[in-house]
């Protein structure tokens, strides 16, 4: 219990202290006009209050991610607490802050455009494809579950339930951001917070003690912590999906000082939610072996329902249904919205997005494959979401590091977590079953070798920009 409460306290202190430090490194300017005003189109660029932005950002980036991912990560034991706290403060919240604030500084630019500006056109072309694939996979993975539940509690078939959800997606994607998202999503964000708070309080007063921190790996299947835990718990620690969502809110911000509350703050809140559900998973089923059995029997939805109903009674059951239905649908909605925005940027030279018909036209190419993928097994989709998600996060951190380096600021705050995540994704793809499924030791050697090459590239970038600074100072002195 002490570890759990201490971890929550560390996240709060991280927001107050390190979040402020990151803000100072970025150097905000509240006198500058934001894209919400300079590019206002009453569709994507619409001014909204910071508290709405925070709750919408939380809902967009969270959904079921910090619940399902944290429950699965709880199989490793209390070491998951360490990853959530450290990852959230020094990697995830930094990632989210820079993805949002860099978008703001570049007129509401999408993530791939930022990658192209700072990492080059080839990186942009690669990340355009990866980002669209990630959006489609996330929307599909987070839509199948709600459709199945709706079909179970109503007389509708699975396909009919799925069709209704996608009809909503199409409507929400082409409507102005302040119509549905701006009015209803803050309420859904509040539901996510209320449920997490209720579960946390119930855990604290339950008979089963919440385990204290240990670096021991308690996974029943003896799967290694590195790099699997860092991919299993992404939402709640660091998630590349967030960098695709941040521009949605960046286009609605009234001033730059709102960024820490919206982006860094939403990620810290998500970290707290992940801590709650990781603790619930470890505690409620009497250890990781019991949790593994519950996951095998009912999947993550069954685990969430069992915990909610047992700890919170009827109200918990209602909250569980709302969570499993509403939250993934809202994530799927904004995933398709951001993919529409990314595709619109790619096609901007060919199509002028001034009418809703053209916006709908751009939405169809991503909606159709998402619909069909939603009929595939959820666990199969989720395996590919994990690695793709963390690749996007790694690219965003490197983009932010080069942004800071170019502007002669403290680039290490992004560079160090970027190196860490490079090691994660390079090792994971060689070891994981959905990757090359190689021997663990061999995967470690290859992963760290590739990471070393990236570090060499990073040092070369540092030397390049250092020389540019020296040349500039010399020319000014002359």
Residues in CB range of 276: below 8 A, 6 or more apart: 70, 196, 199, 200, 203
374: pLDDT strictly greater than 60: yes
Residues in the chain: 478
Write down the pTM of the prediction: 0.89
Structure token digits, residue 145: 């579950």
Taking only the tens place, the pLDDT of each residue in 111-130 is 889 999 999 999 988 988 88
Taking only the tens place, the pLDDT of each residue in 91-109 is 999 999 999 999 999 999 9
| Alpha-carbon gap, residue 112 to 259, rounded angstroms | 20
DSSP code at position 69: I
Conformational region of residue 313, where left means phi above 0, alpha means psi within -120 to 50, and beta covers everything else:
left
Is the CB of residue 363 less than 8 Å from the CB of residue 173?
yes
Question: Which of these, 452, 446, 395, lies nearest to 117 by C-alpha position?
Answer: 395
| Alpha-carbon gap, residue 146 to 169, rounded angstroms | 13
282: pLDDT strictly greater than 70: yes
Taking only the tens place, the pLDDT of each residue in 323-367 is 777 777 777 777 777 777 777 766 665 555 555 565 666 666 677
Percent of all residues in the chain with a pLDDT value above 90, rounded to a whole number: 46
What average pLDDT score do residues 156-161 get?
A: 87
Conformational region of residue 48, where left means phi above 0, alpha means psi within -120 to 50, and beta covers everything else:
beta
| Alpha-carbon gap, residue 383 to 369, rounded angstroms | 18
DSSP code at position 76: G
Q: How far is CA 194 from the centre of its chain?
A: 20
Q: How far is CA 99 from the centre of its chain?
A: 11
Q: Which domains does the chain have, with CATH numbers?
A: 2-385 (1.20.1740.10)
| Alpha-carbon gap, residue 22 to 3, rounded angstroms | 26
181: pLDDT strictly greater than 80: no
Taking only the tens place, the pLDDT of each residue in 204-227 is 888 788 888 777 888 988 899 999
Taking only the tens place, the pLDDT of each residue in 262-281 is 999 999 999 999 999 999 99
Residues in CB range of 156: below 8 A, 6 or more apart: 150, 164
Taking only the tens place, the pLDDT of each residue in 379-407 is 666 677 888 899 999 999 999 999 999 99
End-to-end Cα, the chain, rounded Å: 64
DSSP string, 249-268: HHTT-S-TTHHIIIIIHHHH
Taking only the tens place, the pLDDT of each residue in 4-58 is 899 999 999 999 999 999 999 999 999 999 999 999 988 889 999 999 999 889 8
Q: What sign results for the dihedral spanned by CA atoms 365, 371, 375, 377?
A: positive
| Alpha-carbon gap, residue 463 to 448, rounded angstroms | 22
Structure token digits, residue 470: 């020296």
| Alpha-carbon gap, residue 341 to 111, rounded angstroms | 10
Residues in CB range of 95: below 8 A, 6 or more apart: 238, 239, 240, 242, 243, 267, 393, 396, 397, 400, 414, 417
Is the CB of residue 73 less than 8 Å from the CB of residue 4?
no
Structure token digits, residue 414: 């992004």
């Amino acid at each position: 219990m002490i570890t759990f409460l201490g971890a929550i306290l560390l996240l709060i202190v991280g927001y107050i202290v390190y979040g402020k430090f990151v803000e100072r490194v970025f150097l905000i300017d509240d006198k500058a006009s934001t894209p919400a005003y300079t590019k206002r189109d009453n569709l994507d660029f619409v001014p909204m209050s910071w508290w709405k932005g925070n709750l919408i950002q939380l809902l967009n980036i969270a959904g079921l991610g910090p619940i399902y991912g944290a429950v699965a990560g709880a199989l490793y034991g209390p070491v998951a607490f360490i990853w959530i706290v450290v990852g959230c403060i020094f990697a995830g919240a930094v990632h989210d802050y820079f993805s949002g604030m860099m978008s703001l500084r570049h007129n509401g630019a999408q993530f791939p455009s930022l990658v192209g500006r700072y990492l080059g056109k080839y990186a942009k072309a690669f990340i355009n494809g990866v980002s669209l694939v990630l959006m489609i996979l996330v929307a599909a993975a987070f839509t199948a579950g709600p459709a199945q539940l709706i079909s179970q509690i109503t007389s509708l078939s699975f396909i009919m339930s799925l069709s209704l959800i996608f009809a909503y997606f199409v409507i929400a994607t082409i409507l102005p951001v302040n119509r549905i998202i701006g009015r209803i999503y803050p309420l859904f964000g509040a539901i996510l917070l209320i449920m997490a708070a209720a579960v946390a309080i119930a855990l604290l007063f339950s008979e089963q003690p919440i385990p204290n921190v240990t670096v021991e790996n308690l996974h029943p299947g003896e799967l290694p912590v590195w790099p699997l835990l860092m991919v299993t718990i992404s939402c709640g620690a660091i998630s590349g999906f967030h960098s695709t969502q941040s521009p949605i809110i960046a286009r609605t911000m009234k001033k730059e000082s709102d960024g820490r509350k919206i982006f860094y703050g939403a990620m810290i809140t998500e970290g707290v939610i992940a801590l709650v559900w990781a603790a619930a998973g470890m505690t409620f089923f009497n250890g990781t072996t019991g949790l593994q059995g519950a996951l095998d029997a009912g999947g993550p939805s069954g685990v969430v329902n069992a915990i909610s109903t047992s700890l919170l009674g009827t109200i918990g059951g209602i909250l569980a249904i709302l969570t499993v239905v509403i939250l993934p649908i809202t994530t799927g909605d904004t995933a398709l919205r951001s993919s529409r925005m990314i595709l619109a940027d790619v096609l901007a030279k060919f199509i002028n997005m001034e009418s809703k018909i053209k916006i709908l036209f751009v939405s169809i190419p991503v909606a159709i494959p998402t619909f069909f993928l939603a009929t595939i097994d959820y666990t199969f989709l989720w395996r590919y979401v994990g690695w793709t998600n963390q690749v996007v996060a790694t690219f965003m951190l490197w983009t932010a590091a080069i942004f800071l380096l170019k502007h002669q600021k403290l680039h290490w705050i992004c560079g160090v977590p970027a190196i860490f995540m490079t090691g994660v994704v390079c090792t994971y793809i060689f070891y994981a079953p959905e990757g090359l499924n190689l021997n663990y030791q061999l995967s470690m050697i290859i992963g760290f070798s590739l990471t070393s090459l990236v570090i060499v590239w990073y040092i070369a970038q540092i030397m390049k920009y250092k020389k540019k600074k020296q040349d500039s100072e010399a020319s000014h002195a002359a």
